[in-house]
Homo-oligomer: A and B are copies of this chain.
Amino acid sequence: MTVRAAVAGASGYAGGELLRLLLAHPGVEIGALTGNSNAGQRLGALQPHLLPLADRVLEPTTAEALAGHDVVFLALPHGQSAAVAEQLGPDVLVVDMGADFRLKDAADWERFYGSPHAGTWPYGLPELPGGRAALEGSKRIAVPGCYPTAVSLALFPAYAAGLAEAEAVIVAASGTSGAGKTPKPHLLGSEVMGSMSPYGVGGGHRHTPEMIQNLSAVAGGRISVSFTPTLAPMPRGILATCSAKAGPGATAESVRAAYEKAFADEPFVHLLPEGQWPATASVHGSNAVQLQVAYDEAAGRIIAISAIDNLTKGTAGGAVQSMNIALGLDETTGLTTIGVAP
């Protein structure tokens, strides 16, 4: 079986990473590639690393261009997916790499995104409890945010096992590609090289309600999240340092056991041997999640740290993994756990 896939938003970082993965996917034929401001340009000028597609020319993002595909990936600015998705018909698998359909709570959406809520689609994080079932056979997928992917996977086992209290504290460092390809002064190489800086501090980052949604669902009660994202001098990668106060029953052994159980059969999530900690370089370009957990007895906290590639597992790889499940393919098709390092 080969499906024909279109990519709306092929000139950005998420679109480029998706194309890199689809080129290696044995069950996908790449169809239309669209863009807006870049329509009419050769992909070779926009994504020079994608040599096999160098001579493809971007079309404008229209219903006509996207018609006639089995799968349509949307890598569009927030708020633009609903209008496009409506025109695609119920039998097309639509995979939204934006935020539009991630949140269940309309008030959360409106508070953080400032526009009317478009709805909620099945959530593309198969490793969460019940995650795969929600995706099987689905024709709509909301790909998670990059930070919520790293954070939810790092913390949910502690909440699933009832070992952590309800207030999570998260500090995550992200590579600059997470901020996109639109040129802005603070994203210049001159500004980011040699510098670490926080942003969206104090609860303002849009990924916060998504983390709360995921962790609360697992915990069976509201989890509060203090989330501080930081921009790191690297193009890719997220290192999420997540902690919560240990609850009754938490010991080094019970915590370890909870994480071993959660990820025992996961193809992409790798709990490192005790004493080894993850590094983002190890997952560069891969769909793997490398993580480790510790119990700090003196401070009474569980600390779980995950490393992902924000563009792969955090965006495009997660999208392909969920597409595979929705289409009934082997979940790992076209994806790798091998990073490009050093």
Residues of A within 8 A of B (CB): 13, 16, 20, 23-24, 42, 44-45, 47-52, 54, 167, 169, 171, 173, 175-177, 179, 181, 183-185, 187-199, 201-203, 224-226, 228, 230, 232-237, 239, 241, 243, 245, 270, 272-273, 276-286, 288, 290, 292, 294-301, 303, 305, 307, 336-342
Which of B196, B281, B285, B288 meets A232, CB within 8 Å?
Answer: B196
Other A-B contacts than A197-B278, A197-B280, A236-B342, 7 sampled, CB-CB below 8 A, are A24-B336, A51-B286, A51-B339, A52-B338, A169-B169, A176-B190, A187-B188
Q: Of B44, B199, B281, which is within 8 A of A195 by CB?
A: B281
Known interface pairs A292-B201, A303-B201. Does A176 touch B189 (Cβ–Cβ under 8 Å)? yes
Q: In the complex, which residues of chain B have a beta carbon less than 8 angstroms from the beta carbon of A198?
A: 239, 241, 277-278, 305
Tell me, rounded to whole Å, the shortest Cβ–Cβ distance linking A260 to chain B. Answer: 15
Given contacts A183-B187, A196-B239, A228-B303, contact A282 B233 (CB under 8 A): no
Q: Is the CB of A230 within 8 A of B241?
A: yes
For A234, the chain B residues whose CB sits under 8 A away are 193-196, 233
Q: Say yes or no: A167-B294 contact (C-beta < 8 A), given A176-B193, A228-B305.
A: no
In the assembly, how many copies of this chain are there? Answer: 4
A342 touches B280 (CB 8 A): no
A342: contacting residue among B52, B197, B235, B336, CB under 8 A: B235
B52 adjacent to A197 (CB under 8 Å)? no
Q: Which 9 A-B pairs have the closest CB atoms?
A: A49-B339, A202-B294, A183-B183, A195-B281, A189-B192, A197-B279, A171-B171, A49-B341, A226-B299
Residues of B within 8 A of A237 (CB): 194-196
Counting chain B CB atoms within 10 Å of each CB, which of A236, A280, A283, A342 scores highest? A342
25 residue pairs of the A-B complex, CB under 8 angstroms, read A20-B340, A23-B338, A48-B282, A49-B281, A51-B286, A169-B301, A171-B241, A173-B173, A175-B194, A188-B342, A189-B235, A191-B281, A193-B233, A194-B237, A194-B280, A196-B280, A197-B278, A197-B279, A201-B294, A202-B296, A224-B298, A226-B301, A226-B303, A235-B281, A236-B342
- In the bound assembly, the distance between CA atoms of A35 and B236 in angstroms comes to 31
Known A-B contacts A230-B239, A280-B197; A181 and B189 likewise in contact (beta carbons under 8 Å) = no
CB contacts (< 8 Å) of A281 on chain B: these are 49, 191, 194-195, 197, 235
Tell me how far the C-beta of A254 lies from the nearest C-beta in chain B, rounded to whole angstroms: 15
Residues of B within 8 A of A195 (CB): 234, 237, 279-282
Least CB distance from A222 to B in Å reads: 11
Contact B245 A193 (CB under 8 A): no
A342 lies within 8 A of B233 (CB): no
Say yes or no: B230 contacts A197, CB within 8 Å: no
A189 touches B193 (CB 8 A): yes
A337–B189 CB distance below 8 A? no
List chain B residues, Cβ under 8 A from A278.
48, 197-198
CB distance from A317 to the nearest CB of B (A): 12
Q: Which residues of B contact A199 (CB under 8 A)?
A: 277
In the complex with contacts A49-B283, A276-B45, A177-B197 CB distance below 8 A:
no
CB < 8 Å neighbour of A13 from B42, B44, B190, B196 = B190
Are B51 and A20 in contact (CB-based, < 8 A)? no
